[in-house]
Structure formats: C-alpha cells, structure tokens
Amino acid sequence: DSGVTQTPKHLITATGQRVTLRCSPRSGDLSVYWYQQSLDQGLQFLIQYYNGEERAKGNILERFSAQQFPDLHSELNLSSLELGDSALYFCASSRRDPDTQYFGPGTRLTVL
Amino acid sequence: AQTVTQSQPEMSVQEAETVTLSCTYDTSESDYYLFWYKQPPSRQMILVIRQEAYKQQNATENRFSVNFQKAAKSFSLKISDSQLGDAAMYFCAYDMRFGAGTRLTVKP
C-alpha cells in the first residue's frame, strides 16, 4: 500500500457525460500528479500540482481539468467524454518536486 | 524534447537467472532522478528502484540493481535470481516521462 488513495476504483459512464476522479496524497506529500494509461500503453502525464498551484502540464485535453485543494487532495474532472477516454487514471504524490512519486491504485474509467 | 526510450518491448528469463532491461533518456539537466517501476497484472505501479544522478554509485535494492551511465544517458535494470513474481511490465521513468515499458516473462 503506497498510502495514496483514489476513488472510485471503477467508473462506467456514457459518452458526453462528465465525471470527477478523486485523489488523496500520502500524508506530508505536497505534490500530486495525474496520469492516463490506455490499454497496453505507457503512462501519459496529464498535469501536476504542488501545494495547491499548477506546476506542470502535459498532454491534457481541454475537456479535462484538475485542481488541488487546501487539504492537498486533488480532483480530475473529465467532461464531454468520448470512447477514447476509456483508460486507467493514476494519481501519484511526492514529498517535494522533484522526488519519488508514489502511485495510487488507479481509477478504471469505461466510457460506453 | 526530454524523452525516455525502452528498446525491448518484451524480455524473457528463466527462473533463478539474471536479466537486464535497457533504458535511455534525454535531458539537459545535470541533477535529476531516475526510476524503475513495476506494473504486475493488478496494474498497480510499484517503485522498484531510484537513482540520483549526482551519485556515482549505482543503486541497489535486494535483487534489483541499476547500471547508471550518466554520460551515455543510460539506465538499465538488472534483476538477479529472477522469481515468478517478477513477471510484470517494467517502466523506466525520468521526471514525469515514462518509457513504453518492457514486458518481462519468467519461465519456471
């Protein structure tokens, strides 16, 4: 157990819908990262927050947004969902930036 | 562009033998971290080993060790005494960039 929690574990929704994925970092970690992993693919970096501020942006679509709250938990919002958005979404956290990233168990999103 | 390349999509090893997974990366930084992560069928991402670029000594964690060649920007992972539980996808990572992964099969 890495200490990073993600909810929900599974999410099934329809095209055009909007969902919110939640991540709680390890105690004491200030940085949160979001990644997308499609079937049999590598990890694609989406976005990073550090102590509430956006720190780095990767290949995140305009339909996707994220934020980190004062208690350091983070949410990833996915809207106008398409079939191709079906993937495993990981959250990771680290104490500093840069530093070792510890991953949560992921949220498996299925868009039908 | 800063990239991470794993040139071996698949590797196979006999149980109890040694296998080396390759990784090259590109960066203009002088101080950084490199990582190997393991992803078993459960899809959980598990940290295997970490290397700090300013340290010349190669990192070691039990049966796992790295060969870090900073000038060549090479970072390979050696697994000794391979076990059935080592079967997984292995990802090399630099910063927020991950390689495409190497699928390791362990034969009994």
DSSP sequence for B26-91 = --S-SS-EEEEEEE-TT---EEEEEEETT--SPPEETTEEEEEETTTTEEEEEE-S--GGG-EEEE
Q: What is the pLDDT of residue B2?
A: 65
pLDDT confidence of A111, banded at 50, 70, 90? very high
Dump pLDDT digits (tens) for B14-52: 999 999 999 999 999 888 999 999 999 999 999 999 999
Q: What is the pLDDT of residue A51?
A: 96
Residue owning tokens 């997974």: B21
Average pLDDT for chain A? 96
Mean predicted confidence (pLDDT) in A32-49: 93
By Cβ distance, the residue of A43, A102, A106 closest to B91 is: A43
The candidate with the shortest Cα–Cα distance to B75, out of B108, B38, B103, B33, is B33
Mutate to test the interface with A, among B61, B90, B96, B98 (most CBs of A within 10 A): B96
Mean predicted confidence (pLDDT) in B54-64: 93
Residue A67 backbone phi and psi in degrees, to 5: -155, 160
* CA dihedral for B14, B87, B102, B24, sign (positive or negative): negative
Mutate to test the interface with A, among B45, B47, B89 (most CBs of A within 10 A): B45
